[in-house]
Amino acid sequence: MATRVGYFVGSLSSTSINRVLSRALIRLAPEHLEFTEIPIGNLPLYSPDHDANYPPQALALKEAIAGSDAVLFVTPEYNRSIPGALKNAIDWASRPWGQNSFHHMPAAVIGASIGAIGTAVGQQSLRAVLSFCNARQMTSPEAYVHFTPEVFRDDGEITDPSTAEFLTDYMQEFATHIERVLTVIPRR
Ligand code: FNR
Protein backbone atom coordinates (compact mmCIF):
# COMPACT_ATOMS: atom_id res chain seq x y z
CA MET A 1 0.00 0.00 0.00
CA ALA A 2 1.22 3.51 -0.79
CA THR A 3 2.29 5.78 2.06
CA ARG A 4 0.69 9.19 1.69
CA VAL A 5 3.04 12.10 2.37
CA GLY A 6 1.58 15.60 2.52
CA TYR A 7 4.28 18.17 1.96
CA PHE A 8 4.50 21.85 2.79
CA VAL A 9 6.65 24.30 0.85
CA GLY A 10 7.29 27.14 3.28
CA SER A 11 7.83 29.74 0.56
CA LEU A 12 5.22 31.68 -1.41
CA SER A 13 7.81 32.81 -3.96
CA SER A 14 7.05 31.97 -7.60
CA THR A 15 10.76 31.19 -8.02
CA SER A 16 11.18 29.28 -4.77
CA ILE A 17 14.36 27.24 -4.47
CA ASN A 18 12.60 25.18 -1.81
CA ARG A 19 9.94 24.21 -4.35
CA VAL A 20 12.77 23.07 -6.62
CA LEU A 21 14.18 21.08 -3.68
CA SER A 22 10.75 19.51 -3.08
CA ARG A 23 10.70 18.32 -6.72
CA ALA A 24 14.15 16.78 -6.27
CA LEU A 25 13.09 15.01 -3.07
CA ILE A 26 10.00 13.55 -4.71
CA ARG A 27 12.13 12.23 -7.58
CA LEU A 28 14.58 10.59 -5.19
CA ALA A 29 12.07 9.15 -2.70
CA PRO A 30 11.24 5.43 -2.44
CA GLU A 31 8.44 4.53 -4.86
CA HIS A 32 5.85 3.64 -2.23
CA LEU A 33 5.79 7.24 -0.97
CA GLU A 34 2.99 9.18 -2.66
CA PHE A 35 3.30 12.98 -2.41
CA THR A 36 0.59 15.65 -2.29
CA GLU A 37 1.37 19.30 -1.70
CA ILE A 38 -0.62 20.94 1.09
CA PRO A 39 -1.04 24.58 0.04
CA ILE A 40 -0.54 27.38 2.57
CA GLY A 41 -0.72 30.51 0.42
CA ASN A 42 -4.51 30.80 0.41
CA LEU A 43 -5.03 30.82 4.17
CA PRO A 44 -6.23 33.94 5.98
CA LEU A 45 -4.32 34.93 9.09
CA TYR A 46 -5.25 32.69 11.99
CA SER A 47 -7.35 34.09 14.83
CA PRO A 48 -9.08 32.18 17.65
CA ASP A 49 -12.21 34.04 16.57
CA HIS A 50 -12.48 31.43 13.77
CA ASP A 51 -12.29 28.42 16.09
CA ALA A 52 -16.04 27.86 16.15
CA ASN A 53 -16.36 28.20 12.40
CA TYR A 54 -13.21 27.45 10.38
CA PRO A 55 -13.12 28.95 6.86
CA PRO A 56 -13.07 26.48 3.92
CA GLN A 57 -9.35 26.96 3.22
CA ALA A 58 -8.47 26.04 6.79
CA LEU A 59 -10.85 23.06 6.76
CA ALA A 60 -9.18 21.91 3.54
CA LEU A 61 -5.79 22.22 5.24
CA LYS A 62 -6.88 20.07 8.16
CA GLU A 63 -8.51 17.50 5.85
CA ALA A 64 -5.33 17.28 3.76
CA ILE A 65 -3.25 16.59 6.86
CA ALA A 66 -5.80 14.08 8.16
CA GLY A 67 -5.59 12.30 4.78
CA SER A 68 -1.79 12.00 5.06
CA ASP A 69 0.25 9.29 6.75
CA ALA A 70 3.13 11.72 7.27
CA VAL A 71 4.12 15.30 6.58
CA LEU A 72 7.28 16.79 5.10
CA PHE A 73 8.28 20.44 5.55
CA VAL A 74 10.52 21.93 2.86
CA THR A 75 11.12 25.49 3.91
CA PRO A 76 13.37 28.52 3.68
CA GLU A 77 14.81 30.23 6.71
CA TYR A 78 13.45 33.76 7.17
CA ASN A 79 15.33 35.98 9.59
CA ARG A 80 16.74 32.92 11.38
CA SER A 81 13.25 31.46 11.84
CA ILE A 82 10.44 30.13 9.63
CA PRO A 83 8.35 32.16 7.16
CA GLY A 84 5.20 33.70 8.61
CA ALA A 85 3.02 31.92 6.03
CA LEU A 86 4.23 28.53 7.26
CA LYS A 87 3.79 29.43 10.93
CA ASN A 88 0.29 30.66 10.11
CA ALA A 89 -0.55 27.31 8.46
CA ILE A 90 0.79 25.37 11.44
CA ASP A 91 -1.25 27.55 13.80
CA TRP A 92 -4.43 26.82 11.82
CA ALA A 93 -3.67 23.10 11.75
CA SER A 94 -2.94 22.97 15.47
CA ARG A 95 -6.36 24.32 16.42
CA PRO A 96 -9.20 24.36 17.53
CA TRP A 97 -7.95 23.26 20.95
CA GLY A 98 -8.11 19.46 21.20
CA GLN A 99 -8.09 18.99 17.42
CA ASN A 100 -4.38 19.43 16.72
CA SER A 101 -3.78 17.90 13.28
CA PHE A 102 -0.11 17.13 14.01
CA HIS A 103 -0.72 14.99 17.10
CA HIS A 104 1.46 11.86 16.67
CA MET A 105 2.02 12.69 12.98
CA PRO A 106 5.28 11.38 11.48
CA ALA A 107 7.18 14.44 10.20
CA ALA A 108 10.46 15.56 8.69
CA VAL A 109 11.97 18.98 8.06
CA ILE A 110 14.43 20.07 5.39
CA GLY A 111 15.26 23.33 3.69
CA ALA A 112 17.43 25.10 1.15
CA SER A 113 19.11 28.47 1.35
CA ILE A 114 21.38 30.50 -0.85
CA GLY A 115 23.41 31.08 2.32
CA ALA A 116 26.05 28.71 3.65
CA ILE A 117 24.21 27.44 6.74
CA GLY A 118 21.39 26.02 4.62
CA THR A 119 18.39 26.87 6.91
CA ALA A 120 19.95 25.24 9.99
CA VAL A 121 18.65 27.91 12.37
CA GLY A 122 15.22 28.07 10.73
CA GLN A 123 14.90 24.30 11.02
CA GLN A 124 15.61 24.42 14.76
CA SER A 125 12.84 26.98 15.06
CA LEU A 126 10.46 24.74 13.09
CA ARG A 127 11.45 21.72 15.17
CA ALA A 128 10.54 23.57 18.36
CA VAL A 129 7.08 24.37 16.96
CA LEU A 130 6.48 20.82 15.73
CA SER A 131 7.69 19.44 19.02
CA PHE A 132 5.06 21.46 20.88
CA CYS A 133 2.51 20.22 18.32
CA ASN A 134 3.51 16.66 19.31
CA ALA A 135 4.57 15.63 15.80
CA ARG A 136 6.82 12.54 15.65
CA GLN A 137 9.84 14.11 14.01
CA MET A 138 12.70 12.37 12.29
CA THR A 139 15.70 13.76 14.18
CA SER A 140 18.43 12.14 12.10
CA PRO A 141 19.63 12.58 9.43
CA GLU A 142 19.41 16.36 9.27
CA ALA A 143 19.65 18.06 5.89
CA TYR A 144 20.78 21.65 5.46
CA VAL A 145 20.88 22.34 1.76
CA HIS A 146 23.09 25.04 0.28
CA PHE A 147 21.30 25.70 -2.99
CA THR A 148 23.08 26.41 -6.25
CA PRO A 149 21.29 26.37 -9.62
CA GLU A 150 24.16 24.36 -11.13
CA VAL A 151 23.36 21.44 -8.84
CA PHE A 152 19.56 21.74 -8.64
CA ARG A 153 17.77 21.89 -11.99
CA ASP A 154 14.28 23.42 -12.06
CA ASP A 155 12.62 20.07 -12.80
CA GLY A 156 14.22 18.50 -9.73
CA GLU A 157 17.15 16.81 -11.40
CA ILE A 158 20.34 16.92 -9.31
CA THR A 159 23.58 17.13 -11.25
CA ASP A 160 25.94 16.38 -8.35
CA PRO A 161 26.04 12.62 -7.52
CA SER A 162 27.07 13.07 -3.87
CA THR A 163 24.19 15.51 -3.23
CA ALA A 164 21.78 13.11 -4.95
CA GLU A 165 23.09 10.22 -2.83
CA PHE A 166 22.76 12.23 0.39
CA LEU A 167 19.17 13.27 -0.36
CA THR A 168 18.23 9.76 -1.51
CA ASP A 169 19.45 8.47 1.84
CA TYR A 170 17.50 11.23 3.62
CA MET A 171 14.25 10.19 1.90
CA GLN A 172 14.92 6.49 2.54
CA GLU A 173 15.44 7.26 6.22
CA PHE A 174 12.22 9.28 6.23
CA ALA A 175 10.34 6.31 4.76
CA THR A 176 11.80 4.08 7.49
CA HIS A 177 10.92 6.63 10.16
CA ILE A 178 7.30 6.79 8.94
CA GLU A 179 7.04 3.00 9.01
CA ARG A 180 8.40 2.85 12.57
CA VAL A 181 5.97 5.48 13.84
CA LEU A 182 2.99 3.96 12.04
CA THR A 183 3.80 0.53 13.48
CA VAL A 184 3.34 1.94 16.98
CA ILE A 185 0.69 4.58 16.17
CA PRO A 186 -1.36 3.47 13.12
CA ARG A 187 -3.27 6.23 11.33
CA ARG A 188 -5.81 4.07 9.52
C1 FNR B 1 15.83 35.51 3.58
N2 FNR B 1 16.93 34.71 3.33
C3 FNR B 1 17.60 34.12 4.39
N4 FNR B 1 18.56 33.16 4.18
C5 FNR B 1 19.14 32.53 5.22
O6 FNR B 1 19.98 31.67 5.02
N7 FNR B 1 18.84 32.90 6.49
C8 FNR B 1 17.91 33.85 6.79
O9 FNR B 1 17.64 34.10 7.95
C10 FNR B 1 17.26 34.50 5.71
N11 FNR B 1 16.31 35.44 5.92
C12 FNR B 1 15.52 35.88 4.90
C13 FNR B 1 14.40 36.67 5.16
C14 FNR B 1 13.56 37.06 4.14
C15 FNR B 1 12.33 37.86 4.45
C16 FNR B 1 13.86 36.68 2.82
C17 FNR B 1 12.95 37.08 1.67
C18 FNR B 1 14.98 35.93 2.54
C19 FNR B 1 17.34 34.39 1.96
C20 FNR B 1 16.67 33.11 1.50
O21 FNR B 1 17.48 32.01 1.83
C22 FNR B 1 16.46 33.13 -0.01
O23 FNR B 1 15.65 34.24 -0.33
C24 FNR B 1 15.82 31.85 -0.50
O25 FNR B 1 15.74 31.91 -1.92
C26 FNR B 1 14.44 31.68 0.10
O27 FNR B 1 13.88 30.45 -0.29
P28 FNR B 1 12.76 30.35 -1.44
O29 FNR B 1 11.70 31.35 -1.14
O30 FNR B 1 13.46 30.68 -2.74
O31 FNR B 1 12.31 28.93 -1.38
Do 151 and 114 contact (CB within 8 A), yes or no? no
Q: Which of 13, 21, 74, 78 to mutate to test the pocket of ligand 1 (most atoms within 8 A of CB)?
A: 78
Taking the chain (188 residues) in runs of 10, the rounded mean pLDDT of each run is: 96 98 98 98 98 98 98 98 98 97 98 96 98 98 98 98 98 98 88
Output the pLDDT for position 188: 62
Output the pLDDT for position 1: 83
Please give the distance, rounded to the nearest whole angstrom, from the Cα atom of residue 77 to the centre of ligand 1: 5
Q: Would the pTM of this model clear 0.90, i.e. be above it?
A: yes
> How far from the centroid of its chain's Cα atoms is residue 87's Cα?
12
- CB of 144 within 6 A of ligand 1: the answer is no
ipTM of the predicted assembly exceeds 0.85:
yes
Do 51 and 96 contact (CB within 8 A), yes or no? yes
Rounded CA separation 100/111 (Å)? 24
- CB of 13 within 6 A of ligand 1: the answer is yes
- What is the three-state SS of 46-113? CCHHHCCCCCHHHHHHHHHHHCCCEEEEECCCECCECCHHHHHHHHHHHCCCCCCCCCCCEEEEEEEE
Do 142 and 103 contact (CB within 8 A), yes or no? no
- CB of 54 within 6 A of ligand 1: the answer is no
- CB of 10 within 6 A of ligand 1: the answer is no
